[in-house]
């Protein structure tokens, strides 16, 4: 099963530069064009399924605004 991940973008720091949008391999980040941050930027957000938790977005973000989470697989041991 593919690893599932998700991100949280801290709006306080996101400046809508789109570096994460362009870097995301499965292309599941976009800017929220319906919303402006308190600083006047359209913030990045997850736009669909398919995030793998690869953290490329967090690495390229110059503002360190992205927190990446990754689902861990449950290992079932025989009894």
Shortest distance, position 53 Cβ to ligand SF4, whole Å: 5
Segment contacting ligand SF4 by CB under 6 A, of 32-40, 62-70, 71-79: 62-70
Residues 6 or more apart in contact with residue 58 via CB below 8 angstroms: 7, 20, 64, 66, 67, 68
> For residues 64 and 54, is the Cβ–Cβ distance under 8 A?
no
Q: Examine residue 54 and tell whether it contacts ligand SF4 (CB under 6 A).
A: yes
Q: Which residues bind ligand SF4 (CB under 6 A)?
A: 5, 7, 9, 14-20, 24-26, 28-29, 44, 51-57, 61, 63, 65-66, 68
């Amino acid at each position: 099963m593919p690893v599932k991940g998700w991100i949280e973008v801290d709006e306080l720091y996101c400046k809508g530069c789109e570096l994460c949008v362009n870097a995301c391999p499965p292309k599941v980040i976009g800017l929220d064009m319906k919303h402006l941050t308190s600083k006047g930027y359209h913030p990045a957000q997850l736009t669909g399924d398919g995030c793998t938790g690869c953290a490329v977005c967090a690495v390229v973000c110059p503002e360190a605004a992205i927190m990446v989470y990754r689902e861990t697989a449950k290992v079932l041991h025989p009894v």
